[in-house]
Amino acid sequence: MWSEATIRSQAEPARRPGTGLFVSYALAIESSCDDTAVAVAGPNGVVAERRRSQAALHAPHGGVVPELASRDHARVLLPLVETLLDETSIAPSEIDLVAYTRGPGLVGALLTAAALAHGLAHGWSKPILGVHHIEGHLVSAFLDDLPELPDRFPFLALIVSGGHSLIVHAHGLGRYEILGATRDDAAGEAFDKVAQLLGLGYPGGPAIARLAERGRPDEVVLPRPLLRSGGYALSFSGLKTAVRRRLEERVTDLDPADLARGFEEAVVDVLVTKTRRAWRARRLARVALVGGVSANRRLRERLQQEATADGVELRVPPLSLSTDNASMIAAVAWLRSAEASPALESPRPWALARWSLAELRPPLERRLVHAV
Ligand code: KG4
Ligand code: ZN
């Protein structure tokens, strides 16, 4: 998990291109699901992050309980901000922008960050910006050289998390063409549900991956949903049903590790096949694998093999930034800082449970540059 230590870079504040304004730090708050996180980004990228996982809180319930999530976020968010600022010795006066995850996610959980961010922005007289969670995941693969991000486009993105499974042609910042999405469960959701069937608890992805390490290859072969049909569309609920059927057959010598391995292989096979098909069809030379399921070792390995074979560059976030975090939200905030508004004028609603990546637009600065 995220190290409790905080780091501070020696980055000098930079002039925001075209505006004459100095941008030093953006503070970001993330609470869209079951991770509570705060981070600060500067001109050279992310400076520091503090994060708390709610996994232990939800584990007894086998999944995220929205009401518990909201209450816990509300309890720990402000102390996390205070600790982060204390440890980095960043004063509120040095922060130019307060950002938060506006959506998509659990609406009650999102509102806790939204309320705190608006309160801080109003109290400190700073502008505020609501960030798209999935755009955060998208940039998470580029945090090591954030200022270079505009030059990394176009690329293909496979976004696989607990709530989303998307194959996206990223033409530029804020210009996302969704090629395919899941028709039912997200990939991470399938891992979580299958883990529940196997009695592995929550969160399921890491538990399945660990069990699958001991499983024999090809001992259990499960269906590959929509592998040869549906374009880039994905589907995982039938696979979960196939796992349940195997368990109901009560074959006495069925090893759960073989079943976990068979399930993981099926998910990885579909994701890798469709993603490769997309980068070939779109003639893209770079692919980003992001979202919580990008922590899956087998998926990383298989995608890397195919990318290398095709001469495609694979970008993956470090493991600590695969799952939800505030560093990625702070990074987007910094890139989109020109769009921030005064707290009292910020767009409503403050939180959006559903919000398509396709609705985003390029950052304001770019549009202004184009208009001139
Ligand atoms: O991005 P994320 O932290 O939250 C959402 O935005 O949904 O993703 C969480 C998901 C969970 O479903 C979890 O089971 C899955 O990522 N996950 C994994 C692994 N680590 C986390 N799935 C497969 N293998 C893993 N190693
Ligand atoms: Zn996420």
Cβ proximity of 188 and 292 under 8 Å: yes
Average pLDDT estimate for 251-255? 85
The pLDDT of residue 27 is: 98
- Span from the CA of 316 to the centroid of ligand 2 (angstroms): 14
Average pLDDT estimate for 81-102? 95
Residues 285 and 312: their CA atoms lie apart, in Å, by 5
Average pLDDT estimate for 120-142? 97
Q: Does the pLDDT value for residue 45 go beyond 70?
A: yes
The pLDDT of residue 18 is: 46
Contacts of 303 (CB under 8 A, 6+ apart): 158, 271, 272, 275, 287, 289, 314
CA angle (212 as vertex; 181, 303 as ends), nearest 5: 45
Distances (CA, A) of 234 to 54, 184, 228, 270: 29, 8, 11, 8
Q: Which residues line ligand 1 (CB under 6 A)?
A: 33, 161-163, 188-189, 191-192, 203-206, 209, 291-293, 295-296, 323-324
User: 182, 192, 194, 293: which to mutate for ligand 1, most atoms within 8 A of CB?
Assistant: 293
Distances (CA, A) of 163 to 12, 113, 276, 318, 337: 37, 19, 22, 20, 27
Whose tokens are 């074959």? That residue is 251
The pLDDT of residue 88 is: 92
- Span from the CA of 137 to the centroid of ligand 2 (angstroms): 7
Residues 211 and 345: their CA atoms lie apart, in Å, by 50
The pLDDT of residue 146 is: 87
Q: Does the pLDDT value for residue 10 go beyond 90?
A: no
Which pTM was predicted? 0.92
- Span from the CA of 288 to the centroid of ligand 2 (angstroms): 15
- Span from the CA of 160 to the centroid of ligand 1 (angstroms): 8
Q: Does the pLDDT value for residue 248 go beyond 60?
A: yes
The pLDDT of residue 174 is: 97
The DSSP output letter for 13 is P
The DSSP output letter for 338 is G
Q: Does the pLDDT value for residue 14 go beyond 60?
A: no
pLDDT band at 171 (very low <50, low <70, confident <90, very high): very high
Residue-wise pLDDT tens digits, 297-329? 999 999 999 999 999 999 999 999 999 999 999
pLDDT band at 147 (very low <50, low <70, confident <90, very high): confident
User: 134, 161, 182: which to mutate for ligand 1, most atoms within 8 A of CB?
Assistant: 161
Which atom number of ligand 1 is nearest to the Cα of residue 32? Answer: 6
Whose tokens are 């979580």? That residue is 192
- Span from the CA of 15 to the centroid of ligand 2 (angstroms): 31
pLDDT band at 7 (very low <50, low <70, confident <90, very high): very low
Q: Does the pLDDT value for residue 372 go beyond 50?
A: no
pLDDT band at 253 (very low <50, low <70, confident <90, very high): confident
Which atom number of ligand 1 is nearest to the Cα of residue 161? Answer: 8
pLDDT band at 54 (very low <50, low <70, confident <90, very high): very high
Percent pLDDT > 90 in the chain is 85
The pLDDT of residue 23 is: 59
Mean pLDDT of the chain: 91
Residue 30 tokens read as 């993330």
- Span from the CA of 119 to the centroid of ligand 2 (angstroms): 24
The pLDDT of residue 250 is: 76
Q: Does the pLDDT value for residue 370 go beyond 70?
A: no
